[in-house]
Amino acid sequence: MQRLLIVVTLLATGLALEGRVCIAADPLTVTSDFEGASVREVEIDDATRSISFIPGGDPVRGWPCWWYFRVNGIAPGETITLRLRGSTATVTKPGAPPQKPLASVWSMPAQATFSTDGKTWRHTEKGQRQDEWMIYKLKPESASVFVAWGPPYTPSTAAKFVREMSEKSPHAKATELCRSRGDRAVPMLHVQQGERTKEQRFGVWVQARQHAWESGSSWVAQGFAEWLLSDDADAAWLRQHAEIFIVPIMDVDNTASGNGGKDAQPQDHNRDWSPQPHWNEIIAAQRMVGGLIEEGRMDVFLDLHNPAPDDPTFFYVLSPELLKEPMIGLRDRFIQLAYSRISKIKPLIPMSNKPKVTGANYHPLWRQISANWVSLNGNPHTVSLTLETIWNYQNSTTEGYRAVGSNLAAAVREYLAERPVRQSRMALLD
């Protein structure tokens, strides 16, 4: 009883110190011992209730721009401050000598993301840049809060999502693309409905997170799958006329360990589409996509990413000089349909009206970029694209990303409905 009284007195005293820290508040602590977490050089100042940090991540395993951790010990009604600096780790291009730290803008969204339950992710107010620091303030109204670069999406999230979709819909099957080099499952959703044979179905491949830090791209993939398995009549048409594969996270190992993935050693996942890929995910995806190509039904291949901080481009495509018809015309038609749908949410998601043309000048390993590999090795009618969804915008949220995904899926349906319906070989022989 006496102890309780002392605590109450201390609380009252603390609260009476206007503008001062409540002396009864617990010290702030930081934890990062969970899937996808990443933080380094944490310094906690309990006088100002602020936490200074840099992103964690081993640069050998990709750009150290992703950060994600948990703050505990927050008092009711308290505002805490996050003080972020860019990683000081030196990054290298594969095969090149050590260079310099990654530009800090990659790790500094205008608004950080937080969640008190690990499920619902919200933006903070806009951060303030102060010299080398980015300062975010948030009032979580909870003793513990997760904070991150953007809405996290881990291998567990992907596994749970594909499982829930398969339980919800008889047309969806939770499966695995492969196991990673780190012996983790790579969850994949397989969707088709009705009695059509494989050869009567369009082939659609959707993959995200070849770059582990680009968490928004997994939410786009999820939005695609949610629409596909919805009650929408167009979604049913797509399920009935196509066989669809969705991989929400390709690089599960770097995603699980909070590493960036981009420019990882010995090979960036999206530069690994060579005759001899290093990563298990690429070996498996290349084999399955190769199967669709062999069957003449690699119709739509979509590789999902997040771009540079202020790049509003949506689609990255190969220069038409490197391709032949009908591929160019079909691709441009798909982009037109996708733009008109995704731009319905404009100005929520600003975008430029033209795709960014890439090719030999873009990267020395340009042939080994997945969408390029599929274009160069695909069927004459294959549409293969990289979609870069803007991440540094007020609507770069789980809802915004999923809206892009659902509109993208609706565009795939609209595009394929214009294509000749696939006949079975038997029907062609009749």
Nearer to Zn ion, 243 or 303 (CB): 303
Nearest distance from residue 62's CB to Zn ion, in Å? 10
Secondary structure in 3-state letters for 341-354:
HHHHHCCCCCCCCC
Nearest distance from residue 167's CB to Zn ion, in Å? 31
Nearer to Zn ion, 211 or 367 (CB): 211
Q: Which of 109, 117, 119 is nearest to 141 (CA)?
A: 117
Instruction: Build a one-symbol-per-residue string for 386-425: x at contacts with Zn ion by CB under 5 A, - elsewhere.
Output: ----------------------------------------
Nearest distance from residue 379's CB to Zn ion, in Å? 25
Q: Which of 5, 1, 60, 31 is nearest to 265 (CA)?
A: 60
395-410 core/surface letters (b: 16 or more CB in 10 A; e: else) = bbbbebbbbbbbbbbb
Decide: is 211 part of the binding site for Zn ion (CB under 5 A): yes
Nearer to Zn ion, 114 or 401 (CB): 401
Decide: is 209 part of the binding site for Zn ion (CB under 5 A): no
DSSP string, 298-338: EEEEEEEE--STT----EEEE-GGG--TTHHHHHHHHHHHH
Q: Which residue has the tokens 């790790």?
A: 107
Nearest distance from residue 255's CB to Zn ion, in Å? 13
Q: Which residue has the tokens 């909870």?
A: 142
Q: Is the distance from CB of 390 to CB of 350 less than 8 angstroms?
A: yes
Nearest distance from residue 214's CB to Zn ion, in Å? 5
Residue 269 per-residue DSSP state: G
Instruction: Build a one-symbol-per-residue string for 290-319: x at contacts with Zn ion by CB under 5 A, - elsewhere.
Output: ---------------x--------------
Nearer to Zn ion, 38 or 193 (CB): 38
Nearest distance from residue 386's CB to Zn ion, in Å? 8
Binding region for Zn ion (CB under 5 A) out of 22-30, 206-214, 350-358, 368-376: 206-214
| DSSP-based three-state secondary structure for 129 | strand
Binding region for Zn ion (CB under 5 A) out of 120-128, 213-221, 371-379, 405-413: 213-221
How far apart CA 276 and CA 2 sit, in angstroms, is 72
Nearest distance from residue 369's CB to Zn ion, in Å? 10
Query: Rule CB under 5 A: which of 33-92 touch Zn ion?
Result: none
Nearest distance from residue 305's CB to Zn ion, in Å? 3
Nearer to Zn ion, 28 or 247 (CB): 247
Nearer to Zn ion, 297 or 305 (CB): 305
| DSSP-based three-state secondary structure for 79 | coil
How far apart CA 67 and CA 114 sit, in angstroms, is 12
Q: Which of 189, 208, 419 is nearest to 296 (CA)?
A: 419
Nearer to Zn ion, 382 or 389 (CB): 389
Size of the site for Zn ion (CB under 5 A): 3
Q: Is the distance from CB of 221 to CB of 260 less than 8 angstroms?
A: no
Nearer to Zn ion, 305 or 341 (CB): 305
Q: Dihedral sign, CA of 179, 246, 284, 272?
A: negative
Q: What residue ranges bind Zn ion (CB under 5 A)? A: 211, 214, 305
